[in-house]
Structure 1
Amino acid sequence: MTENTTTQEESTFTDDEQHETVRDRYAEVASDDTGCCESSSNADCGSGTESPTSDDTDTETLTGCCTNDETSTTWAEQVGYSSEEIESVPTDANLGLGCGNPTAIANLIQGQTVLDLGSGGGFDCFLAANEVGTDGHVIGVDMTPEMIEKARANSEENDTENIEFRLGEIEHLPVSDDTIDVIISNCVINLSPDKRQVFEEAYRVLRPGGRLAISDIVLTAELPDELRADLDSIAECVGGATRIKKLEGLLEEAGFQDIQIEPQDETQDFIREWGDDRDLDEVLISATIRAHKPSN
């Protein structure tokens, strides 16, 4: 039987509509001083607000990156960060976002140039900067101005000199060709309406021999139509998830080799908390995505 690899690219709303919904959601997270996990605002991070995009869609109990009674620290520990890593970055950079720890699989070394797709408040960028040292360089790209502002403030307050944050979409990276050693990303590519373009851009900016080290949400079974067609569901890292086989195909088409997409079973515990009356852990799982750009 052929696997159903339906993706959000086949949706009825436009790329601009999806970008706007995602941008608005994370602008609100960035603007709330308590961060995603500690916020009491129903609009933040899948806290259970009813979707305004459809009167018929029951998304009232859908939750996103974390439940409101969790702290950002607890959330970071759940998705794979050590207490030492959490304590090593500015507190305001940890917004309780993400579904894994991409720096743990990136194997970064001193002097490398690292690009973070969807850098948010800069949490993974600061971790990467610690790894590449003063001779290395980290670039964070995010399409939400409020996130860029927050990340830059975190960098300035902590006198971090080997990080910069650029405003831009991951489908159209503000980065030159063949300049990046390693690309990391944490639960962001599922938010994109054009994942093929994301991987093509990633391939473009990587140096020959460069690589991807990504944590993201993937589908393990067919997603209910009402979630697939709901913009809020997509902004909550649910509706835009893609099957592993489809992602492998997109990476291959972009030119990547040595593709490894590995589901992380331990993530099912926190995904189970994303919906009160929906067993989202039966259709979603966090996965690590690794691939190389050929050396020649």
Structure 2
Amino acid sequence: MQEKEKIREHIQNNYAAVAQNKGTDGGGCCSGSGCCGTQTVNLLDASAIIGYSAEEVGHAPEGANMALGCGNPTAIAGLKAGEVVLDLGSGGGFDCFLAHRQVGETGYVIGVDMTPDMVRLARKHAHEAGFENMDFRLGEIEHLPVADASVDVIISNCVINLSVDKQQVFKDAYRVLKPGGRIAASDVVATAALPEAMKADLRLVASCISGAEYVEDLRAMMEKAGFKEIRLVPKDNSRELISSWAPGHKAEDYVASYLIEAVKA
């Protein structure tokens, strides 16, 4: 338990620093400071390799897009007008703002993040841009501050791998979804056993690499939570994406960026 809390605290401090534009020695997933290095990346280029168009980047309030992620969950979620959307690990709110564009004024978007600095930043972006049918809540994705059976769609972008209790994440995600509701996420999963040195490196944990769950174990967790129609599909440019996060670590030999979809029966 103490080790899990140490990991959780490191991740929280890491992303608080990202929110404050201070950066850390690790950075966040595909962040401007680089996950495991100090290179500076162009925000538009970084967003493109993840899966966002220039139009999508331009739609969100300035500062909301930090290029933190490993895919574009709103591109696979099939969002419809009037739906209630929940973003697990909403950060600065980027995916929430893209979801808002699809669900419209009759829909509602909720973002949950465990980092107070990220929640404050997302609320600031929403207020300044005039978004109203949107709420950013402080909380852990293992214990969501969301009512039972109240959400149509859950999205998430490279956050579930950061959890120290992924089974509980899927259990609570199932709880808050309406019957027939769905999850559409992009995340990093393990495709081979990670070396012990890599698993012990907290920088790589915060960089969405060392905390990755083996892909078939992840499927089993989702099945245990009750999900059906589970689809786990690797992104075409996964190796390029992962190698850009941790140059020299050969992380792309052990983990991959996946698109994750499932339905609550």
TM-score by length of 2: 0.94
Which residue number in structure 2 is paired with residue 71 of structure 1? 42
1:196 and 2:153 matched: no
Q: In the alignment, which residue of structure 1 is the partner of 2:191?
A: 220
Residue 241, structure 1, aligned to residue 216, structure 2: no
> Once the 2 structures are TM-superposed, how far is the Cα of residue 168 of structure 1 from its aligned partner?
0.1
Q: CA deviation at 1:224?
A: 1.0
Shift of residue 46, structure 1, vs aligned partner: 7.3
The equivalent residue for 2:118 is: 147
- How far the C-alpha of 1:14 sits from its partner, in A, is 2.7
The counterpart of 1:85, out of the listed 50, 56, 64, is 56
Q: 1:31 corresponds to which residue?
A: 20
Please list, as runs of the form range in 1=range in 2, the aligned pairs for 1:1-296 lying within 5 A after superposition: 14-32=3-21, 42-45=25-28, 64=35, 68-294=39-265
Q: Distance in 1 between matches of 2:73 and 2:36?
A: 16
Q: Give me the whole-angstrom Cα distance separating, in 1, the residues matched to 2:182 and 2:225.
A: 13
Q: Which amino acid aligns with 2:28?
A: C
Deviation at 1:231, TM superposition (A): 2.4
CA contact (8 A) 1:102 1:215 kept: yes
Task: Using the TM superposition, give the Cα deviation of residue 42 of structure 1 relative to its aligned residue in structure 2, in angstroms.
Answer: 3.5
| Inter-CA distance 46–108: structure 2 relative to 1 (3 Å threshold) | closer
**Conserved? CA contact 2:26–2:36, under 8 Å:** no
* Per-residue CA distance 1:46-96 (angstroms, 9 max, x = gap): 79xxxxxxxxxxxxxxx5288632122211111101111111111210012
2-structure distance, mates of 1:210, 1:176 = 14
List gaps (5 residues or longer) in structure 1. 1-11, 34-38, 48-62
What code does the residue aligned with 1:42 have?
D
Q: Do 2:27 and 2:207's aligned partners in 1 also have CA atoms closer than 8 Å?
A: no
Residue type at the aligned position of 1:174: P
How many Å separate the matches in 1 of 2:217 and 2:180? Answer: 23
Other structure's SS at 1:215 match: strand
How many residues are treated as equivalent by the alignment? 262
Paired residue secondary structure (1:149): helix
> Structure 1 residue 13: deviation in Å?
5.1
Amino acid aligned to 1:243: Y
User: Matched residues in 2 for 1:66 and 1:94: separation?
Assistant: 20
Q: Is the 8 A contact 1:228 1:234 kept in 2?
A: yes
Whether the 8 Å contact between 1:66 and 1:75 is mirrored in structure 2 is no
Question: Which entry has the higher C-alpha Rg, 1 or 2?
Answer: 1
Provide the secondary structure at the position in 1 that maps to 2:188.
strand
